[in-house]
A and B are shown apart, each in its own frame.
Chain A
Amino acid sequence: MEFITPILIVGIIGLLAGIILAVASIVMAGPKDEKAEALEEILPGANCGACGYSGCSGYAAAMSQGEAQPGLCSPGGPAVAKKCAEVLGAGETDKLVYDGIEGCSAAILLAGGSSSCLFGCMGLGDCVKACDYGAVEVCNGVAKIDPALCKACGKCVAACPKGLISLAPVKKQAVVRCHNCDKGKAVMDVCKVGCISCTKCVKTCPQGAIAMENGCAAVDPQKCTGCGLCVESCPRHVITMLEA
């Protein structure tokens, strides 16, 4: 019967520790961050650190503080990113909830899509279906093209009902990620990263490669040298560099 004592000792220590922890968590319940807890529920909980934070709880806290963007979680992928964005209220500016046939060409028939911005990607993936090479994927609700896989066949260009995709030469260049034709005030109301036609980039570009077209900046890829000055000048972070 000599095995009883060790079992008892380990059991009692475990029980004591459990009771102390349980009491402590009730007595010392701190202010809870409900948003962070909801986000942590969504995250896979693998604590892999791929997001650059110490673990899922760290990433959830950073997201709830507004320090981190949803979509850094690579094990979770787009599904988790979408759920996180919903918790964070990224979709709050949507003017309606679209619940119809999955697909951009269907959604656009209803008041031009669910988003308050008439010109933005709806992320429903008509371009993904159109691509024969698997070069397009929807990432954080926006279609993204992998230049390494793209064969420039132009099928996605034709598939996008909003005309957001265009073919460009593969070289280091500045790209305007916004296509809205609205006035600055209307953009400010619904979008944090929309072009407000301030024309700072037009004035900054030493090559004269940027012009305003229908109230939105547009880069001429032929003239762009990829110096990146416009990226720094843009107050709305609309322009990004495309690496060749």
Chain B
Amino acid sequence: MDGQTLKTLIAIFLAAILTENYVLNKFLGICPFLGVSKKLDTAFGMSCAVTVVMVIATAVTWPLYTYLLVPQGLGYLQTIVFILVIAALVQLLETVLRKYMPPLYSALGIYLPLITTNCAVLGVTMLVLEKGAADPSFGYLQSLVNSFGSGIGFLVAMILFAGVRERLEDCDIPETFQGLPITLVAASLVAVSFLGFNGLVDRLM
């Protein structure tokens, strides 16, 4: 691997975390973002599970799309096929983890079923294909790095937001804003702060 490729991969990785954050820029995967971010440790467990699933899902759907669906002219089937494959894959992963890695299963296992049809996971697998179509040099390896970065980006967003929410717990919030309203306001502010990263990765390239 030459230096230029490595540099591109790092740029893709950073872009996936900061400027193309799935939660805070693309607003995908908001359900776990709001649902599981009450506590720091559950947020961490959930994000790790999302990262693992994103990478594995991309690793399987990319070749499936490129070598099976496209040659048959069935690109339009990608949504339905991807959902099918990802759901099966996550179930399989859960079974394997439960058998061979019980500690990891108890850490991730309970979050795995929740993300079988998560839109962030589906979004990653479909958007890397879109990128690949726009730029031929964006191949399998780049897609994997992108999905790994997206998972880490999800983790960063979750951890940040869990921290914010733990602080909110101690605040004197007006009654009408308690619960979900103040959480949504806080989420939008965190998203706005991520806009500050715009253009950062372009300079790296």
Q: Given the complex, which residues of B lie within 8 Å of A28, measured CB to CB?
A: 95-96, 98-100
A5-B74, A17-B87 are known; give 18 further A-B pairs, CB within 8 A. A6-B72, A9-B69, A9-B74, A9-B77, A10-B81, A14-B84, A17-B85, A18-B88, A21-B88, A21-B91, A21-B95, A28-B95, A28-B96, A30-B102, A53-B110, A55-B114, A57-B110, A57-B113
A9 touches B92 (CB 8 A): no
In contact, A13 and B110 (Cβ under 8 angstroms): no
Q: Would you call A17 and B88 a contact (CB within 8 A)?
A: yes
Instruction: Collect the chain A residues with CB atoms within 8 Å of residue B91's CB.
Output: 21
Nearest CB to that of B106 among chain A residues?
A61
Chain A residue with Cβ nearest B45: A54
A25 at interface, CB cutoff 8 A: yes
Q: A123 an interface residue at 8 Å Cβ cutoff? A: no
Q: With a CB–CB cut-off of 8 A, which chain A residues contact B88?
A: 17-18, 20-21
Q: Interface size class for chain A?
A: 20 to 34
B95 engages A13 (CB within 8 Å): no
A13 touches B92 (CB 8 A): no
Main secondary structure of the interface of B (DSSP, over half): helix
- How many B residues face the partner with a CB closer than 8 A? 28
| Docked complex Cα distance between A30 and B104 (Å) | 14
Contacting residues, chain A, for B72 (C-beta < 8 A): 5-6, 9
Contacts known (A9-B74, A9-B77, A57-B113); A17 close to B96, Cβ less than 8 A = no
- Chain A residues engaging chain B, CB cutoff 8 angstroms: 5-6, 9-10, 13-14, 17-18, 20-21, 24-25, 28-30, 47, 49, 52-55, 57-58, 61
CA distance A14 to B81 in the complex (A): 8
B74-A13 in contact (CB<8A): no
Query: Is the C-beta of B68 less than 8 angstroms from some C-beta in chain A?
Result: yes
User: Nearest Cβ in chain B — how far from A32, in angstroms?
Assistant: 10
Complex: how many Å from CA A17 to CA B36? 29
The answer to whether B77 and A54 have CB atoms under 8 Å apart is no
Smallest CB-CB separation from B42: which chain A residue?
A54
- C-alpha gap A49/B42 in the complex (Å): 13
A58 touches which of B98, B99, B110 (Cβ 8 Å) = B110
Verify if B35 is at the interface (C-beta below 8 Å from A).
yes
Residues on A with beta carbons closer than 8 Å to the beta carbon of B6: none
Closest 6 CB pairs of A and B: A17-B88, A28-B99, A58-B110, A30-B98, A54-B110, A24-B95
Check B1 for interface membership: any CB of A closer than 8 A. Answer: no
Complex: A54 Cα to B35 Cα, angstroms: 9
- Do A13 and B99 touch (CB < 8 A)? no
